């Protein structure tokens, strides 16, 4: 089974702090993704990575950065946390091509509920 783990289930930080969210997958997936999920807005893509040291902006990258130094690990960084970054953060990973020939079913981690005070 695919396993995606996230470093914390719950996190409380103060405004202005630098925050690191870590995600690890154990299935040798090429692609990794960071989303945030907010009531009424659904899942929105922040950043994704298709290879080590490679990254692409998603729909809402402002205020975030990412790091992928190893294939299995993808970190989301909030350079200076703000209250509007209070949210559920979800990491996902996928193969480039599924066994069925499709392009990469995404498998999600359990999420990190971040509160910025």
Partner 1 sequence: EDQVTQSPEALRLQEGESSSLNCSYTVSGLRGLFWYRQDPGKGPEFLFTLYSAGEEKEKERLKATLTKKESFLHITAPKPEDSATYLCAVQLLAYSGAGSYQLTFGKGTKLSVIP
Query: What is the closest distance, in whole angstroms, from the C-beta atom of residue 6 to partner 1 in the complex?
Result: 8
Query: Distance (Å, rounded) from C-alpha 27 to C-alpha 104?
Result: 13
Residue 113 interacting with partner 1 (CB under 8 A): yes
Residue 53 interacting with partner 1 (CB under 8 A): no
Residue 25 interacting with partner 1 (CB under 8 A): no
Count of positions on this chain that bind partner 1 (CB under 8 A): 31
Residue 4 interacting with partner 1 (CB under 8 A): yes
Reading the block at residue 28, the tokens are 């040798």
Would you list the DSSP string of 32-67? EEEEEEETTTEEEEEEEEEETTEEEE-S--TTEEEE
Binder among 11, 13, 45, 63 for partner 1 (CB under 8 A): 45
């Amino acid at each position: 089974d695919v396993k995606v783990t996230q470093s914390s289930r719950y996190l409380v930080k103060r405004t202005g702090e630098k925050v690191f969210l870590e995600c690890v997958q154990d299935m040798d997936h090429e692609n990794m993704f960071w989303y945030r999920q907010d009531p009424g807005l659904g899942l929105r893509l922040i950043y994704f990575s298709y290879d080590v040291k490679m990254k692409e902006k998603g729909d809402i990258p402002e205020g975030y950065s990412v790091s992928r130094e190893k294939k299995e690990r993808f970190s989301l960084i909030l350079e200076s946390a703000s209250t509007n970054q209070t949210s559920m953060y979800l990491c996902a990973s996928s193969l480039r091509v599924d066994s069925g020939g499709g392009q990469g079913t995404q498998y999600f981690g359990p999420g990190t509920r971040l509160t910025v005070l």
